[in-house]
A and B are shown apart, each in its own frame.
Chain A
Amino acid sequence: MKRAAPAIALSAAGLTWLLHAQGVIDTKPAQQASPTDPSTTAPAPDAPAATSPPTSSAPSPETPPTTTTPSSRNGTVNGPVIDTRYGPVQVEVVLSGSQISDVRALEYPNEARRSQDINAQALPMLHDEVLAAQSPNIDTISGATYTTFGYEQSLQAALEQAGVLRQ
């Protein structure tokens, strides 16, 4: 299996790596590396304008309800209900334009004391994480956190569905 050597470049935000690994999916054409300016390889913002009609209104029995196009960025987006050992949790993200104005827990376990501790810690933390997630030109985030609490899982899902990780 042939693999091209990845390259690193520095950006203002910190280390930026340019990974041009090939081989697993080798049907793609060869890339022209332009490692010195990461902004030239950043994907163009291609989210439709907020005024475009939601395409999900078209009746299509095959289309699952969670499949969306990011057509609207106002209002709220709910994450899925995530089962944790403490009980089901679900978060709601409130959007104002392209910014997140609030993150709320719609459903959370509140019986055990442990759960209350988690609730007290998790939500402020999520606020901060949401701010990080709104960094420009980041499509997605790699980390080990999303499996820690159902909150983060539900939030991650809501953010991705809202399209706010991609601006």
Chain B
Amino acid sequence: MTDAELRRVEPVMGTVVSFVVHGRDHDDGAIRRALDDAVRWLHEVDDRFTTYRPGSEWLRYCDGELALANAHADLRHVVARTEELERATSGAFRIDADASRPPDPAAYVKGWAVQRAADILVDAGATAVCVNGGGDIAAWRIRGSWRVGIQDPFDRTKVCAVVEVDCGAVATSGAYERGGHIVDPRTGRSARGLASVTVVGPDLGTADAYATAAFGLGTDGPAFLRTLDGYGAFVLTDSGAIEAIGLPSAA
């Protein structure tokens, strides 16, 4: 393979986003510029949607200081899409599931932002793109596949499965994520029953939201995952049982 490889890591959105990008030599300048654009985009999203810094556009919207009609198009997109996901999942996905915090769209926004960062690089002519935002991945290749290891939640020295992705997204939610703050939207309490949920499919924002929703539902998560169209899942329960959903075996 004669393609040049660029790597970059960027602390943003409360995590680290890493890029691996392949491009043809004559596209090198365009891809470097696209990488800068993608990183700039992630910081723009972080600034707009953070719930950790007072005065962000998102918090002003939540406080009623900023009318939706006057908000940036990206904020209007996130509001519309998260409402759509709430309806489509019958409330399994909710940005206000945790009543102790302001509504937090991060479970959709992070994946959406990382997916769009990957799309920027694909549009710039990259031949292979893998963007990992804190364990959630958007990947694309003209030839071959990226091999994405799924961390074993019971033994973090191991990878419990490998997903090969040529064009798609992989999102994982687990009890160990951000101090276990994923809550069951029906009870408001910490989710129980599952050790980790990995969702694979075409779009990372959607996959991320589905993984968070299924994890929050606990033992009802697999039933929810079976209703999804176009998205597969890999579930590990607290007892160590493995269930693959919506991914027909090639054997």
Contact of B164 among A41, A68, A145 (CB under 8 A): A41
Contact with B along A67-86 (1 / 0, CB 8 A): 11110000000011110000
Partner-contacting stretch, out of B57-65, B83-91, B134-142: B134-142
Partner-contacting stretch, out of A31-39, A93-101, A105-113: A31-39
B-chain residues with CB within 8 Å of residue A19 when the two chains form the complex: 145, 163-166, 168, 170, 200, 232, 247
B68 beta carbon closer than 8 Å to chain A: no
- Known A-B contacts A9-B251, A69-B5, A138-B147; the reply to A64 vs B167 at CB < 8 A is no
Whether B230 contacts A42 by the Cβ 8 Å rule is no
**Least CB separation from A16: chain B residue:** B162
Whether A64 contacts B8 by the Cβ 8 Å rule is yes
Bound complex: CA A143 to CA B172 (Å): 5
B-chain residues with CB within 8 Å of residue A137 when the two chains form the complex: 147
B-chain residues with CB within 8 Å of residue A9 when the two chains form the complex: 249-251
Contact of A63 among B32, B122, B158, B162 (CB under 8 A): B32
B6, B145, B146, B157 pick with most chain A CB within 10 angstroms: B145
A-chain residues with CB within 8 Å of residue B175 when the two chains form the complex: 144
B178 beta carbon closer than 8 Å to chain A: yes
> What is the minimal beta-carbon distance from A142 to any residue of chain B, in angstroms?
5
Whether A160 contacts B18 by the Cβ 8 Å rule is yes
Whether B156 contacts A70 by the Cβ 8 Å rule is no
B-chain residues with CB within 8 Å of residue A50 when the two chains form the complex: none
Contact of A144 among B32, B140, B173, B251 (CB under 8 A): B173
- Known A-B contacts A41-B145, A44-B144, A156-B16; the reply to A145 vs B151 at CB < 8 A is yes
Whether A147 contacts B14 by the Cβ 8 Å rule is yes
A-chain residues with CB within 8 Å of residue B5 when the two chains form the complex: 46-47, 69-70
B223 beta carbon closer than 8 Å to chain A: no
A54 beta carbon closer than 8 Å to chain B: no
Contact with A along B51-89 (1 / 0, CB 8 A): 000000000000000000000000000000000000000
Number of interface residues of B (CB under 8 A): 84
A115 beta carbon closer than 8 Å to chain B: no
Bound complex: CA A87 to CA B135 (Å): 22
> What is the minimal beta-carbon distance from A24 to any residue of chain B, in angstroms?
4
Bound complex: CA A5 to CA B232 (Å): 9
Whether A38 contacts B162 by the Cβ 8 Å rule is yes
Q: List 28 A-B contacts (CB under 8 A).
A: A6-B248, A8-B248, A8-B251, A16-B163, A17-B163, A17-B164, A19-B247, A20-B168, A22-B167, A22-B202, A24-B167, A38-B164, A41-B144, A67-B6, A67-B8, A68-B8, A70-B7, A129-B156, A132-B156, A140-B20, A140-B148, A141-B135, A142-B136, A143-B172, A144-B135, A144-B173, A153-B11, A160-B9
Q: Which B residues fall within an 8 A CB radius of A?
A: 1, 3-11, 14-16, 18, 20, 32-33, 35-36, 39, 115, 119, 122, 128, 130, 132, 134-137, 139-142, 144-151, 153, 156-179, 196, 198, 200-203, 230, 232, 234, 242, 244, 246-251
